[in-house]
Amino acid sequence: MSQSAAASAATQTPGERQFQRCINCHQIGPSARHGFGPSLTGVLGRQAGSASGYNFSAAMKNSRIVWDEKTLTAFLKNPDGVVPGTRMRLWGYNDEQQIRDLIAYLKSNPAPASR
């Protein structure tokens, strides 16, 4: 690992480190865009499958889930078990602390305030 990569990893929060598992498909933050997966900025409190501009699976759109700590925890543990037919390809998180850290990071990136 380069010195700059090591320094960057040392300054990351535990949740930022967990989010590294997500960055191949998702972005987060003020300039985040949809990629292979939807932007996760402001995901907490949002209805699943409702982020404008992303082509969600019918399963996600019809899930009627509103993302909160409980629903995200269950989904991160077993995506296809919570939303059968989801396109999310994650083998699941098994470590409760890692899940809490990731959710704390997601919470720290709320949706931008409406103007």
Q: Specify the residue for token string 């890692």.
A: 98
Q: Could you read off the pLDDT of 2-50 as tens digits, one per residue?
A: 444 444 667 899 999 999 999 999 999 999 999 999 999 999 999 999 9
Supply the Cα-derived Rg of the chain in whole angstroms. Answer: 14
Share above pLDDT 70 across residues of the chain, in percent, rounded to a whole number: 90
Per-domain residue ranges for the chain? 3-107
Residue at 60: amino acid letter: M
Q: What is the pLDDT of residue 114?
A: 62
Q: Give the fold, CATH level 3, of 3-107.
A: Cytochrome Bc1 Complex; Chain D, domain 2 (1.10.760)
Mean pLDDT of the chain: 90
Cβ 82 vs Cβ 71: under 8 Å? yes
SS3 96: helix
Alpha carbon distances (Å) from 82 to 7, 9, 10, 62, 92: 37, 32, 34, 12, 11
Full-model pTM = 0.86
